[in-house]
Structure 1
């Protein structure tokens, strides 16, 4: 009878299933997640510099009674440390093992303290995940990536927690940036003085009195560029969740024209006076236009930043940019007025000096900000390339449609496409902490890096065309001189040294202006190369007689001068 009952019980599948379900539920309820917590000291790591490491303490706390009751005190435990992005930061400690003897008993709580190190590789944001599990659990799992998906949900013998890590620039990088900026200030100040030596304030005033070209530049600078940047940001960055890049691009487009636009305008033979005028007025206008655009559209790109983050316009930097432009220019104008010889020499070295400054900006700037090359992505490169290149194109087409002369077209196109990225970067640095500011500043740096490419190509094409035109003009002049040599009686006079040996030396250039003013015809002949080297003892009457004889012979058809 007993045997029959036993067989009957074991043969009931529903009862067996219920027993298994009860056992599974009990096991789940007593999982490690329900009796343990993980925390870090410090709670977050937001000041880790590149190429440095920091020691972080992991604190694991267990409920002592539940830990013993569940039998976890007999288990071997494992801690795994892994970075969510190895390019930004790495966990130097990867695995740690411990058992219950390593736990410290304090007030009915078992505490484990383990130190691990985090190394900063590149500026950015990431996290270091710590996974606590039994050794048996880790051995039965064939793929470590499974742990990355486990959270502290109170189920199973696995628990995890993530340390928030921000990596900022190291001190060496910050020092290089300071050296670059300080050197650039000195070089640009001297370049602006050289430009002032070539500046004509009367031409600038005429440009202001007829402000059609500056008005075109204002429209392309503060209406077309921000609209263009907004479209690019929404199309390329926002759709990919790259809000920091979107904000960096939009801020760059709202910045005034950069001082480099004046240099490129000179190198491309544009209207330098118009370029300087537009740079001045766009910088003044940015005091109003930048806050306006930030209020209208800039706030849309603040997703992912701190909820209390606000965009702060660097008014001090804008005013200092004005002073850095105006004061050296006025110094150059003063040199031009009171030291014309010095100004003439300055004009000769201005273009080679500007080229050397631009080379320095590109080379040293790339070296000082080399970390940004590692942050570049395809969307960032595309967006940073489109903004300046489209700016050149729209500035050029707009000025052509409004029938501006070629020199003005060059100045307006360059002024539209070149932004003052320094103001954009400072706005981002004033508004956000590191590394958010550095990450957002990547776009202004990319824009500045891609800006010279079409200009260098344009300068090369311009120089080639200019050289070809000069060669054609020289060839035409040579042909004209050849024809004149065959037919001009003056050339016959010049080459007939035997017949004119006593007549080839004419009026000296040292004749006083008061004497020559009464004889305008003779004064004209003084400047002719045919009349050089006259003996000092020749009187005016003798000189007039020589000239009269030459003119009589020359103007008689078919007669060769004696």
Structure 2
């Protein structure tokens, strides 16, 4: 049988098959880039204030002498780039069929950006295919950070030894037997604070899940050691504060995971949340060992213990000033990330915690000293644990960028307490001045208004009713 009889479109089918083979090749040729850029690194990860050199190779068919290659970054506050070699295309480049250049990338601040290479011809610029290089700028680990962390740990340990010397164990046992105050503090720490931070996070950062996560992590963290220091300085119930801090820290082993794997998944479902059990355990050990040393000193070396108690208030004040000043100096970069939303978040979490804790304590008829301790315990969070959680949950540099939220909370936390401390000092000084100026007038007024028939006290009548020895015998017999 002849081929013409087998195929009705013979010999046109040969032409159709030929076109079907050529069309994909033609499409691929049209889609092929005229210029292609290749960098010496796929991704550039650098530290702040560092510079790095990158080599770029441009190949393609559309190369003409006189072409200029441009370079720029999308986020200039994160990083900038300049040519460290010629960027004009010469005949030598045309002979080689490619352009080789060298770039210097200068990193300025935390963040991510893209470096792009383009071509300018006759005053018009056009991007180059694959001419983009991702840049990640992170913060280096500095010696000053290690020094700060170590010094704070040492000083806080000394403070807690002093707390152990000043601790009245019968009062602590009384608080635990009638745990109204610790129960209010625990509810404020692990019920009100997580809900406050969760709600404020969605209200202040509706479009930033990472910042919401930083805020929520701060809200679910246990109480910080600074709560005991501020309670002592402001005249709160130190024994109750120490008891609440201990209970709050132990409860963190169960309540932190409960919040992180419930509302935490709602805040940021893609976060790889790892609960830092080891860090919490180390915090518990670092809390109880100095307290035990202080209690032992109170029992076996009472004179040294009394001296430690006398210097406690001044030493606590100096420690707080040191922590605040050193933290600001070592984390100056954080202030470049500050916005009004972050400032409001930093104020909202602890300040609402203070107000809620004090209000609930007074509603349950707690005395002022206990209510003050409960308020401080509710408002102060261990932001160090929040920062630690962020470093596990987020990659760099997002971990350092979102750290601004717990750092802002830590900076804004002492505000109300500093105001209360200043008010107490001014009130005390004002009261001393009034007592000195009003004492002569008060004595004169009492003498003129006393009963005319009242005789002045005789020396005999001013003697005590019984001697010290008799008083001791009476008190022992009673």
Both structures adopt the same fold (TM-score exceeding 0.5): yes
Unaligned runs of 5+ in 1: 1-28, 142-146, 152-157, 496-503, 522-562
Match of 2:37 in 1: 38
| 1:329-368 alignment, distance < 5 Å | 329-368=291-330
CA distance in 2, matches of 1:59, 1:294: 48
Task: Report the Cα distance in structure 2 between the residues aligned to 1:268 and 1:209, rounded to whole angstroms.
Answer: 25
Deviations 1:387-437 (A, max 9, x none): 111111111212122221101110111111110011111111233332222
Q: Aligned pair in 2 of structure 1 residues 454, 517: CA closer, same or farther (>3 Å)?
A: closer
- The 1-side partners of 2:184 and 2:109 are apart by 43
- Compute the TM-score of the two structures, normalised by the length of structure 1: 0.72
1:527 maps to none
1:478/1:405 CA distance change after superposition, 3 Å = farther
Please state how far the C-alpha of 1:122 moved relative to its aligned partner: 1.4
Matched-pair contact (CA < 8 Å) for 2:357–2:374: yes
Aligned partners of 1:458 and 1:311: how far apart in 2? 38
Match of 2:135 among 139, 144, 165: 165
How far 1:254 sits from its partner (Å)?
A: 0.6
Contact in 2 for aligned 1:75/1:135 (Cα 8 Å): no
Contact residue 89 and residue 99 of structure 2 kept, 8 A: no
d(CA) in 1 for partners of 2:371, 2:473: 48
Alignment of 1:19-418 (within 5 A): 34-46=33-45, 48-62=46-60, 67=61, 72-93=62-83, 96-99=87-90, 101-102=92-93, 105=96, 110-131=97-118, 133-136=119-122, 139=123, 141=124, 159=129, 161-171=131-141, 174-237=142-205, 239=206, 241-302=207-268, 309-418=271-380
State the secondary structure of the residue aligned to 2:115. strand
Q: Which structure has the bigger radius of gyration? A: 1
Contact 1:199–1:273 (Cα < 8 Å) also in 2? yes
Q: Using the alignment, how far apart are the partners of 2:244 and 2:328 within structure 1? A: 28
User: Larger relative contact order (C-alpha < 8 A, sep ≥ 6)?
Assistant: 2
2:403 aligned with 1:435: no
Deviation at 1:54, TM superposition (A): 0.9
Q: CA deviation at 1:221?
A: 0.9
Q: Say if 2:50 and 2:106, in contact at 8 Å, map to a contact too.
A: yes
In 1, the alpha carbon distance for the partners of 2:164 and 2:419 equals: 27
Tell me, in whole angstroms, the C-alpha distance in 2 between the residues paired with 1:315 and 1:220.
Answer: 22
Q: Helix, strand or coil: the match of 1:96?
A: coil
CA contact (8 A) 1:33 1:159 kept: no
Contact 2:353–2:375 (Cα < 8 Å) also in 1: yes
Please identify, of 224-233 and 423-432, the stretch whose mean Cα deviation from structure 2 is larger: 423-432
Mapped contact 1:51–1:170 kept (Cα < 8 A): no
8 Å Cα contact 1:91/1:119 also seen in 2 = yes
Q: Deviations over 1:238-293 (max 9, x none)?
A: x2x32221111110111001100000011111111111111111111111111111
CA shift at 1:325, angstroms? 1.2
Query: Aligned-pair distance for 1:355?
Result: 0.3
In 1, Cα distance between equivalents of 2:311 and 2:347: 32
Cα distance in 2, alignment partners of residues 474 and 283 from structure 1: 47
Aligned equivalents of 2:68, 2:90: Cα separation in 1: 9
Q: CA deviation at 1:189?
A: 0.5
Using the TM superposition, give the Cα deviation of residue 99 of structure 1 relative to its aligned residue in structure 2, in angstroms: 3.7
Per the TM alignment, residue 352 of structure 1 is displaced from its structure 2 partner at its CA by: 0.4
What residue is the counterpart of 1:425 in the other structure? 387
Task: Give the 3-state SS of the residue equivalent to 2:87 in structure 1.
Answer: strand
SS of 2:396 mapped into structure 1: coil
Residues 185 and 377, structure 2, Cα contact 8 Å, conserved in 1: yes
Kept in 1, the 8 Å contact 2:272–2:392? The answer is: no
CA contact (8 A) 2:38 2:130 kept: no
* Cα gap change, 1:350 to 1:484, in 2 (>3 Å): farther
TM-score (norm: length of structure 2): 0.84
* Residues 77, 134 of structure 1: 8 Å contact kept: yes
- Secondary structure of the structure 1 residue equivalent to 2:158: helix
Q: 1:519 and 1:85, CA in 2 relative to 1: closer, same or farther beyond 3 A? A: closer
- Cα offset for 1:477? 7.4
Give, in angstroms, the shift of residue 474 of structure 1: 7.1
Q: CA deviation at 1:91?
A: 0.9
- Larger mean CA deviation between 398-407 and 460-469 belongs to 460-469
Q: Deviations over 1:472-494 (max 9, x none)?
A: 67788777766589856445669
Alpha carbons of 1:33 and 1:372: their partners in 2 closer, same or farther (altered >3 Å)? farther
| Deviation, structure 1 residue 112 | 2.9
Structure 2 Cα separation of the partners of residues 73 and 470 of structure 1: 87
How many residue pairs match? The answer is: 441
User: Which sections of structure 2, spanning at least 5 residues, go unmatched?
Assistant: 1-27
Q: 1:220: how far off?
A: 1.1
